[in-house]
Amino acid sequence: MKVSVSSLYQAVELNQEIPPLLIGERCNPNGSKAFREALLAEDWDSCLKMALDQEARGAQVLDLCVAYAGRDELSDMNTLVKLFAGSCKAPLMLDSTSPETLSAVLPLYPGRAIINSINLEDGGANLDKICALAKKYGAAVVALTITEEGMALTCEKKVAAAKEIYRLAVEKHGLRAQDILFDLLTFTVGSGDEKMRDAAIQTLDAIKQVKKELPGVGFTLGVSNISFGLRPAARKVLNSVFLHEAVAAGLNTAIVDAAKVLPYVAISDEDRQLCLDLLFNRSDDALMNFIEHFEQAVEESDEEESDTLLEEQLRQKVLKGDKEGLEDLLTELRGRWQPLDIINGLLVPAMREVGELFGRGELLLPFVLQSAEVMKQSVNLLEPYMEKLSDEGRTSILLATVAGDVHDIGKNLVDIILSNNGYKVHNIGIKVPAEEIIAKAKELQVDVVGLSGLLVKSALLMKENMLQFQAAGLTQPVLLGGAALTPKFVAEDCVPGYENQVVYCADAFAGLKAIRDFESGSLQSTRWESAAVAANKPGPQQEGIDRSQIPPSVPFLGEKIIEDLPAEPLFNYLNQAALFRGRWGYRRGKMSKEEYAELTDKTVLPLYARLKDQALSENWLQPKVAYGYFDCCSEGDSLLVHSTSGEKRFDFPRQPAPPHLCIADYFRSAEEGGDKVGFFVVTIGDRLAEMTSELYASDSYHDYLMLHGLGVELTDGLAEYWHEQMRIEMGLQQQAQADVAAYVAQGYQGSRYGFGYPACPDLEAHLPLFELVKAQQIGVGLTESFEMVPEMSTSAIVVHHPQAKYFAV
Amino acid sequence: MRYICTCCGYTYDPAKGDEMNQVAPGVEFDDLPDSWVCPLCYATKDQFDPLD
């Protein structure tokens, strides 16, 4: 019969194909000094690290014990079970004999746990309570053969105690035989105590007998007790031989330090014989012979034992994004491997794993970037010891943000992921015209070209680029990524223009997958089934627009510059959901609500608070506004704006499908009496943009993403703030509310439409806009393709009509 | 269960539906068509996080 326990992430069979199932014992203050210290210091991260380390070293289930003098077991268990449940793949063994503690934490655990443990020390009162809990929560239970007389030392007493526990647990409490794991206890054969010479035999015999008399039950054993009092090097061998014998007797799980289990075949015949003589009490001198023999053995400290696992440690560093001690670790690894082998054999596979975890939603973007930082720093540390990484044979990729587009975070994330997966990336920057991309692709003889761009216009430009690439004779596959792209657009508009593959990539890892497909010869152009879904075009559904809306009174006509804005209020208008989940990538994914709340409280909010403090105390932000109110009237799809510098014309697109919305419709025509319109350009200055470039240049990928995201959302916060100011000035709103949740859903009169966005995608409108509000006075300029610089600026037309809401043309 | 748009913070609440996309109250997020997008920023369904 298959019997499993489970964590949030996976089920693990108690009866492994190759027994035993290894239960990690290190998270126990009574058995591990490091864990004790972490527990006493309430250093929960270190506690978790020990759990994850055990997993990495092969533990399939994790024992967790926090009972320690002076500590509150219930509270500590509560904290750690929640932490471990979300982070450990291995199911937990809840090591407590307190029904109160167990009843508090069992409901928190999102899987099938094992309770460790029940016994008959008090005659069965505790056992009754814990078995009831096991039944209620479907947990498995470890049962120790301890009775009112004490620990069962002989086979006979062990079996008798087991039968009594079985009777109570199964017949009285309705547990199933397979729910019970008997720990028949073992004691050291290393003490020289005459009475204990056959301790191993008693335990092994008891396993065989209980297995026969109580079919279906499982077993576990604290294996290392067998060697208590002996030297570490000797213990490791004796424990491993004893484990081998116990498994032969029927043991299916074992509580061990998974890192210290030696494969049986790795133990020499001589060592085996000495161990077996001692375990099976084959001669009076067995213990002395054993000790003498292992006296010669190299004293192994904990450090040396971890030597064998240096490679694993490096993998863990990458997976956890942990740079601590990286230099020492790499120095040691260089003693075993060539630097290039460390990169290709250890680091690259670890990064591949990171990508897979991200793909499965088990690792969030900020952590991926920390992993990439470890990768990058490792390569930097290795480079002095090797010839420069040869580009020969490495797949090379040209990356560029297309002409007219200044957005580089997406392209740079792709660069980070690709270059830290061992590929040669030529990142040639932003606003790159097709001619330059073609020239560079030829000159550098790259294997693949990747184009990026955020704007709606960039998507259209990519379509044109395909034709230009084709005409210029490029043959490399082209990968396309960007916010305004869809697989449908790529398949229908870009693929036909270019003979070779054109592939839509939703994120950096899709790009990585495409490169791997290219290498394996399986890269294919993006296809789009026209029968498949076409995206909705949401928006107001009204038939007609009320023509009788009276224009608001405006405080002045013409433009105004505001340069002395304090930065702090912007944070009240910052959209935290968009920043945390969208820009920063702290998505909930597979986490429970509680786990996500914990991530938010422990990681995200503290980071946000720290950045906010720094931004204010170090003056990262220089918020400035150029805005104005103008007389205007609509004329067909256009808006004519009157100003002292003459009439400006804004042409707006109209939806081709019902309800055929167009921004101009929200304004009265000249015949209807004309109207009023507002415009603004806001910026937080260029300081933050400079800082983000520096972070990117210094490979601080994580901070780069965080700061960039903060800047973009603060810019939007400033726009939200200023839009509110303008509503107040126009009498559309009484006072400042800074209600971000309401503003997200346009809970106000009118709308602000950003140029370059779906209702008015044409950036050329920036030309008349800039003439109207004189945005150059606040340091904002336009690129040749009418994008604003610095990047952290935004613009809008402010519409007062109550029916005006977001829509897409 | 309510869902939140990770791009703009819009919350889809089945109790309210989504007028901009002509979705009546009572439709669970999982039952929205694949073509459904955020009514405010046009993010696709896979860009939403569960909220409750």
The residue extents of the domains of chain B are 2-51
Same domain, A750 and A652: yes
Is the confidence at residue A101, as pLDDT, over 60?
yes
Calculate mean pLDDT across residues A242-264: 89
Q: Which of A536, A579, A713, A753 to mutate to test the interface with B (most CBs of B within 10 A)?
A: A536
Res A257: pLDDT:
83
Band of the pLDDT at A353, cuts 50, 70, 90?
confident
| Closest B-chain CA to A539 | B20
DSSP E strand boundaries for A253-362? 253-256
Of residues A671, A666, A722, the one with CA closest to residue A552: A666
Identify all chain B residues contacting A536, using CB atoms and an 8 Å cutoff: 21, 33, 35-37
Helix ranges (DSSP H) in A521-649 = 568-572, 576-577, 593-599, 605-617
> Does any domain span residue A258?
yes
The tokens describing A124, both together, are 């069965």
The Cα–Cα gap between A742 and A726 comes to: 17
Res A389: pLDDT:
64
pLDDT tens profile A418-451: 998 889 999 999 999 999 999 999 999 999 999 9
Is the confidence at residue A303, as pLDDT, over 50?
no
10 Å Cβ neighbour count for A198? 18
A228 vs A471 pLDDT, higher one: A471
* Listed residues A385, A409, A439: the one ending a domain: A385
Q: Is B38 on the interface with A (CB under 8 A)?
A: yes
Res A216: pLDDT:
93
Same domain, A258 and A322: no
The distance in angstroms from the start CA to the end CA of chain A is 61
Same domain, A83 and A216: no
Band of the pLDDT at A726, cuts 50, 70, 90?
very high
> Does any domain span residue A548?
no
Region of A404 on the Ramachandran plot (φ > 0 left; ψ -120 to 50 alpha; else beta): left
Of residues A450, A548, A464, A565, the one with CA closest to residue A508: A450
Same domain, A420 and A369: no
Is the confidence at residue A304, as pLDDT, over 70?
no
Q: Which long-range contacts (CB under 8 A, 24 or more apart) does A760-765 make?
A: A760/A652, A760/A653, A760/A663, A760/A797, A760/A809, A761/A455, A761/A456, A761/A457, A761/A653, A761/A809, A762/A457, A762/A651, A762/A653, A763/A404, A763/A455, A763/A457, A763/A787, A765/A650, A765/A651
CB A421 within 8 A of CB A516: no
* Listed residues A267, A286, A306: the one ending a domain: A306
ipTM: 0.92
Band of the pLDDT at A297, cuts 50, 70, 90?
low
Known binding residues of B: 5, 8, 38, 41
Band of the pLDDT at A307, cuts 50, 70, 90?
very low
Is the confidence at residue A673, as pLDDT, over 80?
yes
Is the confidence at residue A621, as pLDDT, over 50?
yes
Of residues A217, A214, A215, A271, the one with CA closest to residue A242: A271
Q: How far is CA A573 from CA A560, A600, A736, A754, A788, in A?
A: 22, 19, 11, 17, 22
Known binding residues of B for Fe cation: 5, 8, 38, 41
Same domain, A588 and A633: yes
Tokens 């498995």 label which residue? A140
All residues at 6 or more sequence positions from A100 whose CB lies less than 8 Å from its CB, including other chains: A74
**Full residue range of the structural domain in which residue A279 is found:** 112-306
Same domain, A140 and A270: yes
Q: What SS3 class is residue A633?
A: strand
Same domain, A343 and A453: no
- Closest Cβ–Cβ partner in B37, B39, B49 for A581: B49
Is the confidence at residue A717, as pLDDT, over 90?
yes
Q: How far is CA A214 from CA A148, A266, A806, in A?
A: 22, 34, 70
CB A404 within 8 A of CB A457: yes
Tokens 């869902």 label which residue? B3
Q: Is A589 on the interface with B (CB under 8 A)?
A: yes
Of residues A799, A791, A552, A797, the one with CA closest to residue A688: A791
Is the confidence at residue A300, as pLDDT, over 60?
no
Report which residue type is found at A101: T
- Judge: B40–A539 Cβ closer than 8 Å, yes or no: no
Calculate mean pLDDT across residues A659-681: 95
Same domain, A474 and A595: no
Q: What average pLDDT does the structure give for chain A?
A: 90
Same domain, A415 and A269: no
The shortest C-alpha distance from A795 to chain B (Å) reads 16
Same domain, A296 and A370: no
Weakest-pLDDT range from A117-126, A359-368, A532-541, A694-703:
A532-541
Q: What would the CATH number be for the domain defined by B2-51?
A: 2.20.28.10
DSSP letters for A160-206: HHHHHHHIIIIIIT---GGGEEEE-----SSS--GGGTTHHHHHHHH
The Cα–Cα gap between A192 and A188 comes to: 9
DSSP E strand boundaries for A237-350? 253-256
Q: What SS3 class is residue A445?
A: coil
> Does any domain span residue A6?
no
Band of the pLDDT at A234, cuts 50, 70, 90?
confident
Q: Which long-range contacts (CB under 8 A, 24 or more apart) does A608-615 make?
A: A608/A576, A608/A579, A608/A580, A608/A710, A611/A706, A611/A707, A611/A710, A612/A571, A615/A567, A615/A688, A615/A710, A615/A714
Calculate mean pLDDT across residues A119-145: 94
Q: Is A539 on the interface with B (CB under 8 A)?
A: yes
* Listed residues A109, A141, A169: the one ending a domain: A109
Identify all chain B residues contacting A587, using CB atoms and an 8 Å cutoff: 6, 49
Give the distance, in angstroms, between the CA of residue A729 and the centroid of all CA atoms in the same chain.
44
Res A305: pLDDT:
43
Phi, then psi, of A674 in degrees rounded to 5: 75, 180
DSSP A121: T
Known binding residues of A for methylcob(III)alamin: 404-408, 452, 508
Q: What SS3 class is residue A429?
A: coil
What CATH number does the domain containing A316 carry?
1.10.1240.10
Domain count, chain A: 5
10 Å Cβ neighbour count for A787? 24
CB A175 within 8 A of CB A135: yes
Q: What SS3 class is residue A455?
A: coil
H or E element at residue A762: none
Range from A57-61, A145-149, A297-301, A706-710 that averages highest in pLDDT = A706-710
Same domain, A731 and A603: yes
Res B20: pLDDT:
87
Res A301: pLDDT:
44
C-alpha angle with apex A535: A529 to A537, nearest 5 degrees? 150
What radius of gyration do chain B's Cα atoms show? 9
Chain A segment 754-773 residues within 8 A of B by beta carbon are 758
Phi, then psi, of A376 in degrees rounded to 5: -60, -45
Band of the pLDDT at A302, cuts 50, 70, 90?
very low
- Judge: A533–B5 Cβ closer than 8 Å, yes or no: no
Same domain, A335 and A403: no
DSSP A321: T
10 Å Cβ neighbour count for A479? 26
pLDDT tens profile A355-402: 888 887 778 888 899 999 999 999 989 988 887 666 777 899 999 999
Res A1: pLDDT:
61
